[in-house]
Structure 1
Amino acid sequence: MFQLNKDFRLTSSNEGSVILDLKSGKYMRLNRSGKTVLESLLDNGTIETCIIQLSQQYPTTSVNRIQKDVENLTNELLAQRVIEKI
């Protein structure tokens, strides 16, 4: 399971999300797919659930591609300390 780090704020729109680091003032933008990944991780807490959700949303994209993208983004969000495992 994952949660948003308390030092970050998340704002979402139809186009994606913006994540603000309150300590540094830096921000990160996510496209719609990235937004879906982050919201799924925060709501459901598992990478597997996120992959299933994206596979349904993008049926013409291979599951292997979705899995790689989800794992890469999850690792980046963890490395940047945007999300944390709970």
Structure 2
Amino acid sequence: MSAPGWIAVIVERNQAFHIIGSAEDALDLLFTNWPVVSGTAFVLAMETCAGTATGAVTEGEAQSAFLAAARDAKVVCRIA
């Protein structure tokens, strides 16, 4: 199930598929299974996804930042 404002994204990492349905899911993947742990796109995605917990950032803004980090890291993903 996707959080309001977030369109489910399927991410392929290490021969496994992950369904990302919220900023919280994205943050978990960024922390545990991301190919890069530095760079502007990665840091912005981490900060933006974390910002949804306080309401400082919308799920849509977090998803945009997450997708930018995926493009930057060349992570295969698609909108479900």
Q: Larger relative contact order (C-alpha < 8 A, sep ≥ 6)?
A: 2
Bigger proportion of residues as strand: 1
Q: Normalising to structure 1: TM-score of the pair?
A: 0.33
Larger Rg computed on CA atoms: 1
